[in-house]
């Protein structure tokens, strides 16, 4: 019985250490949307010559026209430091869980994954 309890405790320690190792000090995780500095929270249909677009398409068009990628979470718009990140471009217009560091109103994204 003691060996089973010891094994469970050891496993719990390993799991908690590996979970904390994934997020470095100073890093935070947020849920929100990758958008653009032109449209921010909303992607109006009339913005692009009346064409209906998905949020991803709208974000791509706006960025191509000079807007910057932003991260919108709980109504707040954060700038994204690493604008040339292929990971950010791949998640444009999507709901994501973003991990990174925050300085002022700018996030340096380290990793992200799409959420449902």
Task: State residue 72's pLDDT score.
Answer: 96
Q: Which two tokens stand for residue 66?
A: 């000079």
Structure tokens at 109: 């994204």
Query: Two tokens at 42?
Result: 């909303």
- CATH architecture of residue range(s) 25-114: Beta Barrel (2.40)
pLDDT of residue 18: 45
Enumerate the domain spans of the chain: 25-114
Q: Tell me how many degrees the CA angle 42-47-51 measures, rounded to the nearest 5.
A: 110
Q: How would you write the pLDDT of the chain (116 residues) with one tens digit per residue?
A: 566 554 544 555 444 444 444 657 789 999 999 999 988 888 666 566 677 788 898 899 899 999 999 999 999 999 999 999 999 999 999 999 999 999 999 999 999 999 87
Helix (H) or strand (E) holding 95: strand 95-103
């Amino acid at each position: 019985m003691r060996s089973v309890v010891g094994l469970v405790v050891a496993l719990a320690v390993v799991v908690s250490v590996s979970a904390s190792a994934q997020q470095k000090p100073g890093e935070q995780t947020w849920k929100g949307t990758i958008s653009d500095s032109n449209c921010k929270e909303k992607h109006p249909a009339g913005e692009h010559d009346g064409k209906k677009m998905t949020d991803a398409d709208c974000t791509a068009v706006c960025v191509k026209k000079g807007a910057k990628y932003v991260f919108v979470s709980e109504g707040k718009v954060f700038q994204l430091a690493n604008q040339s990140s292929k990971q950010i471009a791949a998640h444009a217009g999507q709901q994501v869980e973003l991990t990174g560091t925050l300085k002022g109103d700018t996030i340096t994204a380290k990793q992200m994954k799409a959420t449902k």
